[in-house]
């Protein structure tokens, strides 16, 4: 009630219309589903309100700086906790040599989150946005950024590693290379020191004859099943939250209990299979307009504010690349943080500033 009564006129980001179209098509898919998950749809829809909150209330450079600094401080703290968790788990694994105790596979660091994928995806978003933000935050934030980067390496989550690589490529193309060197150099040293552990993680996914840990095989089977679901239900999908029920019909291999099939481990396939190609088209529209809006803001920004839309682009790119191998769009904590980070530039750099450039 305080927000409603005291808030200024909402600042609608350029992607607001495609985002609403995506939400609307999701509800159509929900209503066409047997036993519609109405409560699920309402809970997920509320999360998108973060876009309006961020764009309406984070409207000055000071607020943007404070937001990024607070996120980075919390991420650094949780990363430090995660690194300690890894050290303790690794010590236990050396004594037991059990897969369930392996901190590179099934006992990965979680910080304060319930799952390692949630933890590593959130850390990636903050780390991606923080690299361009160092222009404004200052080099005193180098240590927190390095701490978060260390946690990303020791998360042993390959999709997050790929997302981080995409972030580095984008930022290096849009900002001075000298900014990246102090951020990346210590991480290269840490990665080299952990190369044996990284090899252990990668080889465990390839050499697993007993099928107790099968992320690569499992993903391939999930993606094949997802394509079959799309073929059978092209327009409105099998329904949100119904992949778990539909997957066994399309899987004929062994050890189905070792394949998590609550979703398809891919943002694009999961949305297309669950909600249909019409909803999938609005999802792509939303993402493309988000990219286009941020690039317009880069052109509109001056030297003091250019880091803001680049931070949004970095977070968006890391999020999407990671989403090729996991369904991070369906993780509420990750989605909420993602929407907040990418919406901040639309609050500070208003659309009227963009219109002057266009």
Residue with tokens 């990024």: 68
- C-alpha 275/C-alpha 238 separation (Å) is 7
- C-alpha 9/C-alpha 25 separation (Å) is 27
- C-alpha 236/C-alpha 277 separation (Å) is 7
Q: What is the dihedral of CA 317, 321, 324, 327, to 10 degrees?
A: -60
Taking each helix axis as running N to C, give the angle between helix 195-206 and helix 177-193, from 0 to 180 degrees, rounded to the nearest 10.
Answer: 70
How far, CA to CA in Å, does 90 sit from each of 99, 100, 126, 189, 198? Answer: 11, 11, 26, 20, 13
* Tens-digit pLDDT profile for residues 214-256: 778 889 999 999 999 999 999 999 999 999 999 999 998 777 8
Enter the tokens of residue 228: 């079959």
| pLDDT given at position 323 | 97
How far, CA to CA in Å, does 116 sit from each of 104, 111, 331, 337? Answer: 11, 8, 12, 16
* Tens-digit pLDDT profile for residues 105-118: 999 999 999 999 99
- Please list, in sequence order, all residues whose beta carbon lies within 8 angstroms of the beta carbon of residue 33, skipping any fewer than 6 positions away: 238, 239, 240, 242
- C-alpha 132/C-alpha 297 separation (Å) is 15
How far, CA to CA in Å, does 28 sit from each of 22, 33, 201, 208? Answer: 10, 9, 41, 42
Q: Does the pLDDT at position 58 exceed 50?
A: yes
- C-alpha 175/C-alpha 306 separation (Å) is 10
* Tens-digit pLDDT profile for residues 271-307: 999 999 999 999 999 999 999 999 999 999 998 899 9
- C-alpha 339/C-alpha 343 separation (Å) is 6
3-state helix, strand, coil in the chain (%, to 5): 75, 0, 25
E-only strand ranges, the chain: none
* Tens-digit pLDDT profile for residues 116-139: 999 999 999 999 999 999 877 777
Find out whether 30 and 102 touch, Cβ atoms under 8 Å.
Answer: no
């Amino acid at each position: 009630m305080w927000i409603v009564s005291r808030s200024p006129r909402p600042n609608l980001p350029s992607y607001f219309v495609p985002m609403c179209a995506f939400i609307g098509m999701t509800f159509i898919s929900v209503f066409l589903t047997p036993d519609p998950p109405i409560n699920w749809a309402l809970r997920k829809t509320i999360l998108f309100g973060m876009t309006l909150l961020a764009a309406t209330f984070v409207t000055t450079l000071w607020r943007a700086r404070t937001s990024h600094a607070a996120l980075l401080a919390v991420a650094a703290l949780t990363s430090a906790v995660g690194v300690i968790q890894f050290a303790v788990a690794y010590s236990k694994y050396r004594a037991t040599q059990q897969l369930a105790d392996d901190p590179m596979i099934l006992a990965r660091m979680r910080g304060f989150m319930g799952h390692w994928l949630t933890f590593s995806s959130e850390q990636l978003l903050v780390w991606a946005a923080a690299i361009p933000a160092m222009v404004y935050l200052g080099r005193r934030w180098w240590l927190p950024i390095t701490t978060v980067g260390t946690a990303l390496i020791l998360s042993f989550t390959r999709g997050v590693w790929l997302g981080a690589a995409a972030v580095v490529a984008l930022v290096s193309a849009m900002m001075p290379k000298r900014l990246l060197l102090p951020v990346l150099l210590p991480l290269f040293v840490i990665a080299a020191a952990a190369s044996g552990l990284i090899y252990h993680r990668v080889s465990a996914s390839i050499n697993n004859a007993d099928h107790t840990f099968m992320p690569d095989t499992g993903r391939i089977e999930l993606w094949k099943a997802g394509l079959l679901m799309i073929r059978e239900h092209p327009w409105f999908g099998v329904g949100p939250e119904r992949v778990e029920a539909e997957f066994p019909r399309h899987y004929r291999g062994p050890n189905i209990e070792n394949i998590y099939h609550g979703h398809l481990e891919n943002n694009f396939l999961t949305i297309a299979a669950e909600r249909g190609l019409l909803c999938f088209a609005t999802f792509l529209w939303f993402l493309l307009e988000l990219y286009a809006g941020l690039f317009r803001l880069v052109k509109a920004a001056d030297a003091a504010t250019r880091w803001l839309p680049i931070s949004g682009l970095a977070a968006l790119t890391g999020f999407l690349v990671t989403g090729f191998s996991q369904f991070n769009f369906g993780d509420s904590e990750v989605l909420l943080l993602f929407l907040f980070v990418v919406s901040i530039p639309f609050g500070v750099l208003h659309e009227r500033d963009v219109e002057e450039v266009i």
